[in-house]
Structures are given as structure tokens and as C-alpha cells.
Homo-oligomer: A and B are copies of this chain.
Amino acid sequence: MARIVMKFGGTSMAGTERIRRVANIVRKQQAAGHEVAVVVSAMAGETDRLVNFCREANPLYDPAEYDVVVSSGEQVTSGLLALTLQAMGCKARSWLGWQLPIHTVEAHAKARIHDIDSDALLAEMGQGVIAVIPGFQGVSDDGRITTLGRGGSDTSAVAVAAAIGADRCDIYTDVDGVYTTDPRIVARARKQKYVTYEEMLELASVGAKVLQTRSVGLAMKNGVRVQVLSSFIGDDAPPADDLPGTMIVSDEEMAQITENENMERQLVTGIAHDKNEAKVILTRVPDKPGAVSHIFGPLADASINVDMIIQNVGRDKGETDVTFTVPAADLARTQAMLEDKRDSIGYNRIITDSHVAKISVVGVGMKSHAGVAATMFKALADRGINVQAISTSEIKVSVLIDEDETELAVRVLHTAYGLDAEDEAA
């Protein structure tokens, strides 16, 4: 007997038929002898609909009232899943954020969970009741509804799992696990049996949209074992207890697994790509102390997230070109701000390019192995792919390239790091 939290996203909850499929997966998990809590998202598209209503009502909306409106989507699906489970003969009930309660700090529309009362929940789960909990929502100390920000249901699931001491938190999505890279680009991409929290954090932050970054950080902090697996499985699919998806584990657990299974720890876990970056070049910026802070200070104040930065060697005496990337969605705002600050920065021209892609190589193994970056640059150079910018972290190397070369670069790197599956996938 184990205690399992299961989380289902909006695509899995979109309509009666899909909710029935979800209920069936939940029912089987309980029938395997486990205590089960389920965290659900709103039906796909519903949160967008509600957010639009808020924007139409008041472009500068009060986040407290926004939370009242948008939290209703998960309220509906949690009631419907409880009803559907009951129709299958299971004992089930919903607990809304204010009912458990899920206490959050009072930052409406971007709240953080600080505590979950789990006593009532555990008592009922011990009696065989399946607990259904709306994701994304909580309640503030002054008794108002809060929400966690878009995609917050993954975080809710991990927080509930931590609060009830769950043995596993299964995140059901529309992919069946974490792959070595996007299988739509590389047919020989392999599903990973295990990745570490740190690797998952880096992959999530560079465009592998499997899990919300925050939820991975929370799982790491609380040591919650998270499995990513598919909710679109047939009746003949292996049970979740057989770990058919990808398990997110700690570095220590990963080391243990590698040792037990007598495998070599792989250097690189995944290749991610992200086409949502844009490149900005400021030409002929004065090359003197403090000049760069005139550029990046105002951007930071406006919460524009600058990623890669390159300061070229001065081409003329006392002047340099500065290149950096921002999210493509913030490009117009960035440009307007830079034009506004033209005098204080003192550049010659702004050149922008949103036709770029960021390719990232991620792996905990590179902590202890040199040469990962060198392999990357050589493999790309051999195919004539020009690297426009580079950024690195302890377990990641990212390069900026021409967007048209995205798929080629991903395939080249996937092969270069020996990630290709032996038999081509069907």
C-alpha cells in the first residue's frame, strides 16, 4: 500500500469523455491498493476564457477579484471528477483550496503555498475516499481565494504530495515522459527512465514544456518523487506502479540507480530547443565601466528577463557592440525602452532579430566531465552552423543559432552525444 498523488492537466480534463478516462485511471490506481489524492486543472481553454473576461471587465484588474473568477475553472473539474468517480462506484469528494485549506501567502494571481492542512484529508483517504483537489488555487490568511499563476497545478500537486507524505506524485500529461529531445524532431529520441531534479529544472527552463519549473524546484526541496507519464493510454498500458513514465529523482538516488543497474552515467540527458527568444544588438556602446548597467538596469526593473549577453571586443577605440537575448514576447517593449534610454546608454544603432533559436544541452554528468561544450561547438561547426551567442550553467550549455537550423542542430547534437536509440522508433 502506498500513498499516491495523481495530477491531470487541462487536455486530460477537457469534457465528459476525457474526465471519464481520467476517472478510470484513478480508479485502477486505488484498486491496486493505494490511498489516492487527485489534483486537477481546468478544462483546456477554460482559464483563457476566464482571463479574457477579466481583461475585458478591467484591463488593470484587481488580482483578488481575478482570482475569484479564474479559480472557478478548477472548481468545476474537481466536482465533475468526484461525480464521475462516484458513478463508477468509488467513494470520492472534492476539497477546494479554502476547504482543506491550502494556505498561501497573499499575493493574488501569483501566490505561493506556505502550508496545507492535511489531517482531514488523510483521515478520509484512510477510509478509502479518493480526494479530488483543484490545482492552481489556495486561500489567503484573510480568507480570500488566491491562485498560483499559470501552470500552477503542477505545483499544487507537488505541494499536496509533500503535505501528505506521498510515496509518489504522478503527473499525467499529453506526453508519456521526458525524452532525450523532442521526438517530433528526432525520431530516434529516447524516453528517459530517470532524470534528476536539476536536469529537469534546466530542461523546463529552456523550453521542454513537460513540467512547470516551480513545481520541480518544490519537489527537489521536499524530496517528492515525481513521475511524468501519459494520460492518453489504452487499457493494456502498464500500471503507473511499474514506472512506465520518467521518474524525477535526486542526484543521490540517480547515482544509486546507475550503480545498481551497472550502467554508465550518461553525460548529457537532453537536448532542448526554444524558438521564443529574440536577439538584440546595440552597436557602438561606450566601452567604459558602468555603461552596461545603463542597458540592463532598466530592463530588470521592467521584469524583462535577459538571458545571453555578449560584449564584443571593442572594434573601435572606446566602443563595443553589446548582444543579448530577451523573450520574443518582450521584444517590442525592450526596443521601446532602449530607444527611450538612447541618450543615457549612448549607442549608435539597435539591431533586432527574432529569427533565432536557443539550443541547450543539459546533463548532470557534465559537472565532472570536461569537453561537453567543446563537443557541441565542433559538432555544429562541422555542419556549418554558426553560433551567435553562448551561455552556460553548471549542467547546461546553450547556444543561439539561426532559427532555420533548429532541427538540424538538434539532430546533430543528439547523435554527437550518443543519445540516438539503437532501433528507429515507429
A residues in contact (CB < 8 Å) with B: 16, 19-20, 50, 53-54, 56-62, 64-69, 71-72, 75-76, 78-84, 86-87, 93-94, 96, 98-99, 143-145
Contacts and interface: CB of A to CB of B under 8 A. Distances in A.
Contacts of A56: 16
Contacts of A65: 79-80, 82-83, 86, 93-94
A66 B54 contact: no
A143 B83 contact: no
A81 B53 CA distance: 11
Nearest to A96: B68
Contacts of A82: 62, 65, 68
Contact of A79 (B68, B75, B78): B68
A69 B62 contact: no
Given A16-B56, A58-B84, A69-B80, 16 more contacts: A16-B53, A16-B57, A50-B76, A53-B80, A57-B81, A58-B83, A62-B82, A62-B86, A65-B79, A65-B93, A65-B94, A66-B83, A68-B76, A68-B82, A68-B96, A75-B75
22 contacts: A16-B56, A16-B57, A19-B57, A53-B76, A53-B80, A54-B83, A57-B80, A57-B83, A57-B84, A57-B87, A58-B83, A58-B86, A61-B86, A62-B82, A62-B83, A66-B83, A67-B79, A68-B76, A68-B82, A69-B75, A72-B72, A75-B75
Contacts of A61: 83, 86
Nearest to A84: B57
Given A19-B57, A83-B57, A99-B143, A75 B78 contact: no
A75 B68 contact: yes
A208 to B, nearest CB: 33
Contacts of A57: 16, 19-20, 80-81, 83-84, 87
B54 A80 contact: yes
Contacts of A84: 57-58
Nearest to A88: B58
Nearest to A87: B58
A3 to B, nearest CB: 23
Contacts of A69: 75-76, 79-80, 83
A232 to B, nearest CB: 20
Contacts of A20: 57
A84 B59 CA distance: 10
Contact of A94 (B68, B98, B99): B68
Contacts of A94: 65, 68
A75 to B, nearest CB: 5
A54 B72 CA distance: 15
Contacts of A67: 79
A65 to B, nearest CB: 5
Contacts of A64: 93
A398 B68 CA distance: 47
A69 B64 CA distance: 21
A74 to B, nearest CB: 9
A82 B58 CA distance: 9
Contacts of A79: 54, 65-69
